[in-house]
Structure 1
Amino acid sequence: MSAPHSGYRLLDIPFGAGPLADEVLLTPAIQEPVACLWRTAPGLVVPRTYAARPEFAAVRADFAARGCPIHVRQSGGGVVPQGPGILNLSLAQVFAGRPLDHAEALYRHLCALISDALAVFGIEARAQPVEGSFCDGRYNLAVPSPDRKIAGTAQVWRRIPGHAPDRHVGLVHALILAQGDPAELTARANALEAALGSSRRYDADRITTLDRLLPPDEHPDFPSALEARLQETLRARSPLPTTAPARPRPEP
């Protein structure tokens, strides 16, 4: 008898499913750890805090009329672009206990998984903030010398109906800048901030796309090769333990 599968079950998400497609993982994750790699059409995605602004509805309609729809996601963070050249990776599984006890480990797990896949292509990446990049956070993935963001991450948690109150599904997402023009991606995010009357602006020099880190004659099919490598890693990598490690007792 073959050994039980220990990695993630990969789910297919059609291209037309949209930039909130990974939220469909929340239900199947109740049964087993699941993951998906997906792409979507051009647009912008924002957290719910943006949707609460008085100007948001009018700005959203204007951007949609110009071919740049704005979608509101459940996870936190800031504004991010979607579209050609951007690869999304999402993981979801059940945890016992408080989400706060698992959140950091889940971020580190996702960042390590992507970093391991990138190492095959000779790209060194590490988790860190990159001031000036859009949707900056402690668990960006960045390349050094100089530090530039190549992926951003976010989480969402849901209590499981009909289960113990401490049972939650944790979903973590990475937006990976595989290809594209950093100036154009940043300009889209800046245009939204300006339209909403925000003084926040992002610097295109604080991000880069992965294809720019490779010699032109190497890995001509890089985005597809990266996706294949990530699929292999997901199938082989064990999900996190359901229960968080016990906290040390304070000294008497």
Structure 2
Amino acid sequence: MTSPFPPADPTPPGVGRWRFEIERDAAPAAERLRAEEALLERVRDGEPPTCGIWQAARAIVVPRPWTDLPAFAEAAAGMEARGWPVLPRLSGGTPVPQMPGVLNLSFVYPVASNLWSLEAAYRHLVEPLRHATRDFGVEAEVGEVTGSLCAGRFDLAIGGRKFVGTAQRRRSGGRPGLTVILAHATLWIAPDLDLACAAVADFLTALGRPVDFRPETMTTLAAELGPSRPADRLIAEFTDALRRVIDDARPP
């Protein structure tokens, strides 16, 4: 798999240290999404660069324009009746599942508006994830996995199968010349991926949309490591590893 990052793309020097907000329990997804939006506004208003690590309860998260589709209300009601609320997000792409075992990483920080390209900000997001994964004896590659859920150029894969999805949003900062970046990664650490894929497929079918992903193109860290670690333990250990790696870095 070829990395989308050009070799000469630099990582700018940083200033200060990250503040952490770590939520280890899986709260309702709507609550977690609201908290992420609020964090973006707080950093825009002057709070320090913040790293959020969190889990959410079951949900299917879709780009906001999907809520205008003719069949959306009926399809969403059917999924919610099955325990899968359908929630909008501001970033693009296609539906993605949230559930226990899915770990989310949110980097929120201000930069000079002309400082970082999209690619540089994605590098800043995925490199700590690669280092943390390496702590478990697993090598992750950067690049798009054709046929995976919400495939993107800056996803992470293990052995050619996707296990991390990424997204990015930018807003004008609270001061002229500043941009606030929300860089988000969704990590499949130990979810029931078959269950999640089936839920997304059923939702797409109810919408009259094609099911254009294949479950065999995706994996979880738990599946790669084998049954030696219980899911809760693996999630806790990966959260701790991720914090250690990020704490050694500086925000931009």
CA contact (8 A) 1:6 1:236 kept: no
Alignment of 1:143-182 (within 5 A): 143-144=158-159, 147-161=160-174, 163-164=175-176, 166-182=177-193
CA contact (8 A) 2:76 2:203 kept: no
When you count strand as a share of all residues, which structure comes out higher? 2
The Cα RMSD (Å) is 2.0
CA contact (8 A) 2:26 2:100 kept: no
Displacement, 1:218?
5.7
Change in Cα spacing, 1:15 to 1:187, as seen in structure 2 (3 Å) is closer
Change in Cα spacing, 1:78 to 1:148, as seen in structure 2 (3 Å) is same
Local SS of the residue matching 1:190: helix
Displacement, 1:98?
5.3
Aligned residue pair count: 231
Aligned counterpart in structure 2 of residue 11 of structure 1, from 17, 21, 24: 21
Displacement, 1:6?
3.4
Aligned counterpart in structure 2 of residue 124 of structure 1, from 114, 134, 139: 139
Unaligned runs of 5+ in 2: 1-14
Alignment of 1:1-252 (within 5 A): 6-13=16-23, 15-16=26-27, 18=29, 19-20=32-33, 21-30=35-44, 31-97=47-113, 101-144=116-159, 147-161=160-174, 163-164=175-176, 166-217=177-228, 221-240=233-252
Displacement, 1:17?
5.5
Change in Cα spacing, 1:212 to 1:67, as seen in structure 2 (3 Å) is same
Local SS of the residue matching 1:239: coil
TM-score normalised over the length of structure 1: 0.85
- Render the CA deviation track for 1:110-157: whole Å, top value 9, x for unaligned: 11110000101001001110011111000110012xx10011011112
Unaligned runs of 5+ in 1: 241-252
TM-score normalised over the length of structure 2: 0.85
Change in Cα spacing, 1:6 to 1:40, as seen in structure 2 (3 Å) is same
Displacement, 1:33?
1.0
Q: Identify which range, 87-96 or 208-217, moves more after superposition.
A: 208-217
Deviating beyond 6 angstroms after TM superposition, the runs of 4 or more aligned structure 1 residues are: none
